[in-house]
A and B are shown apart, each in its own frame.
Chain A
Amino acid sequence: MKNFRDIEQLSAYLDVQLSPSDSARLESRISADPELASVLSDLRAARSILRKLPARKAPRNFTLTRKMVGLKPPLPRTFSFFRLSTAFATFLLMLTFAANSVIPRIGFGAAAPMAAQEAYGIGGGGSGGGCEEPCIQSLAVPTEAPVATEAPAAAELAPLPTEGLPSASEDTARVGETAIVETPMAKELENASVPQDPPTVKNEAIIPIAWQVGLLVIGLISAGIAFAINQNAKRKWG
């Protein structure tokens, strides 16, 4: 058996990959060495049999489809515009929801006592202190029977000398007829309590709902158009 260097040279010689000088040198060695000639013959036979191998044709076509290679259809510029407007409208819509839910809490939390005072129309400390919402409600709902027990409270609120007015005992005696003690102060309080539910006024949305609906409509329309453009492009793309 020849060394591998010789075999490599013989293989390259078969493929005409040796320089002319190397080829000539090898040819002279081959003619002088039968073993070298035998190896060359073996290599040639192996190469020959491989070359005789019938070429197999592809059993099917391997052509690619756009889907196979993940190609997307070319979309018109309008698609980008509508996609952007959808995204923008959605973003603004979210922003309006955020604004409406967060800002009133921050703003109303700090200004709440003041707002309540303004709404009730009663000043700082000197108005009897303890008379808060229940007290006002009792004055505002005069015909209810339980008011009879609250009448003294109203009277306490108006302890000013009232000539011609019946005494407290007489008041209680007339409770059945009317629960309202018509003192000027009570009237004032009653008038003050007319604009009911003041906190709801302050909780009004910062961004009007009409704007939100508008943004929603814009977003939906833009999304619909973008979807239609995309589908149309895909259909044309095949």
Chain B
Amino acid sequence: MDETALIHSAQNGDLDSFNTLILHYQDSVFHTALRILGDEDLAQDAAQEAFISAFRSISTFRGGSFKAWLMRTVTNACYDELRRQKRRPTTPLEPETSDGEEMDSPKWLADPNMTPAERSEADELEHAVQHCLDALPVEFRTVVVMADIQGMDYSEVATASKVPLGTIKSRLARARLRLRECLRGFEELLPSSYRLQEEGNR
């Protein structure tokens, strides 16, 4: 895939070229949105909005890392979604039994495709990490998602976040420290491979 040529064509209004870029980046974009928002439906909406917005403003792309530019668009879409949620917080429906009483342990909240027994290590890890990510301030969350989950380097994260490199370093350090503290509470849920690695590190 000649990314530069596709970007150039997209800047001239060629939607097919832009769609090729979308197919290449959609997993990263969706995953980033999912980790920032912590909700699959909202992440889908944010990803779609981000791509629409990216196509409309692709003429403003002046070179450099396209992924970083795209990540800035998706983080902006996520911030918009979070602001919207803040303005109109939703109240989850309380599940009821057949007698009309509230359920103490709503099983319906779990993904219907997996029971606790069937959960794989990866799923346990994912839930624990997402819980801890959600507890982070959104600026820290965004930085740690881009740097540690998407594997972007500091300069790309700085471009995507529109903050100086020093701020990225600082936010990343704080975020990692907080995550480590939070994940301690899930140690028994974490995959054995992780625990072994921990022991090895120590």
A-B interaction: yes
Chain B hits for A235, CB < 8 A: none
Interface centre among A59, A62, A63 (most CB of B within 10 A): A62
Q: Is the CB of A59 within 8 A of B40?
A: yes
Q: Which of A24-32, A45-53, A147-155, A208-216 touches B?
A: A45-53
Tell me the interface secondary structure of chain B in the complex: helix
Is there a chain B Cβ closer than 8 Å to A41's Cβ? yes
Is there a chain A Cβ closer than 8 Å to B169's Cβ? yes
Q: How large is the interface on A (under 10, 10 to 19, 20 to 34, 35 or more residues)?
A: 35 or more
Please provide the 3 A-B residue pairs with the shortest distance between their CB atoms, ordered closest to farther. Answer: A11-B173, A50-B148, A58-B30
Is there a chain B Cβ closer than 8 Å to A71's Cβ? yes
Count of B interface residues, CB-CB < 8 Å: 49
CB nearest neighbor in A for B191: A52
Complex Cα distance, B173 from A11, in Å, reads 5
Chain A hits for B179, CB < 8 A: 46, 49-50
Known: A12-B169, A44-B201, A60-B44. A69 touches B177 (CB 8 A): no
Is there a chain A Cβ closer than 8 Å to B22's Cβ? yes
Chain A hits for B44, CB < 8 A: 58-60
CB nearest neighbor in A for B197: A48
**Closest CB-CB distance, A11 to chain B, in whole Å?**
4
Chain A hits for B193, CB < 8 A: 52
**Closest CB-CB distance, A86 to chain B, in whole Å?**
27
Q: Which of B45-53, B85-93, B97-105 touches A?
A: B45-53
Using a CB–CB cutoff of 8 Å, the interface residues on chain A facing chain B are: 4, 7-8, 10-12, 15, 17, 38-39, 41-64, 66, 68-69, 71
Q: Is the CB of A50 within 8 A of B180?
A: no
Q: Is the CB of A53 within 8 A of B194?
A: no
Q: Is the CB of B26 within 8 A of A15?
A: no
Of the candidates B125, B173, B183, B201, which one forms a contact with A7 in the assembled complex, judged by CB atoms under 8 Å apart? B173
Chain A hits for B51, CB < 8 A: 62, 64
Interface string of B125-148 (1 = CB under 8 A from A): 110010000000000000010011
